[in-house]
Amino acid sequence: MTGKTFAPAPPEPLPRDLFDPDCLPNPVPIRFSEKWAWLVLRCLEPGPRRFSELRVPLHWVTPKVLTETLRSLERDGLLTRTEFQEHPPRVEYELTTLGHSLFGPMDAVCGWARENLGRLLAAREAHPAPSK
């Protein structure tokens, strides 16, 4: 065990601090990494929406994935799911206060994107799948 090049099996089992907002295992950055969460929240910004109403702007998301996304957002208290006992069934999704409060930081990111997307894409152009 002297020849090992790297990390001789460090005792610590990845002590990443869940409460460090910078740390990726932190649920918040993770939230942004969920593929559709971002857009789903946006679609709910104007007000409550039904499942099928959400499917229109998100028609390229399969119902399964949409459901999963909605449930995970519900688990984190960002939106509520209300089931009306009617026929045909009806379910409404609505942002919580917590959910709404996310738009602040989200807008900051979107603002950055709006301003710098051009540079970013230009940089991509400039790096033409390099040497390889």
- Which residues here bind a copy of itself, judged by CB under 8 A? 6-7, 10, 14, 16, 19, 21-24, 26-29, 32-36, 38-39, 42, 55, 59-60, 63, 74-78, 98, 101-102, 104-106, 108-114, 116-117, 119-124, 126-127
Q: Which two tokens stand for residue 11?
A: 């005792």
If the CB atoms of residues 70 and 73 are measured against DNA, the closer one turns out to be 70
Q: Rounded distance, CA 44 to CA 42, Å?
A: 5
If the CB atoms of residues 57 and 63 are measured against DNA, the closer one turns out to be 63
81 touches, from a copy of itself, DNA, none (C-beta below 5 to 8 Å by class): DNA
Q: Rounded distance, CA 61 to CA 102, Å?
A: 22
50 binds DNA (CB under 7 A): yes
Judged by CB under 7 A, the residue of 23, 28, 91, 120 near DNA is 91
Task: Determine what percent of the chain falls in helix, strand and coil, rounding each to the nearest 5.
Answer: 45, 10, 40
Q: Rounded distance, CA 84 to CA 50, Å?
A: 11
- Minimum gap (Å) between residue 98 Cβ and DNA: 20
If the CB atoms of residues 44 and 61 are measured against DNA, the closer one turns out to be 61
Do 116 and 122 contact (CB within 8 A), yes or no? no
Do 70 and 36 contact (CB within 8 A), yes or no? no
Q: Which two tokens stand for residue 13?
A: 């089992």
Residues that bind DNA (CB under 7 A): 5, 34-36, 50-53, 60-65, 67-71, 81, 88-91, 132
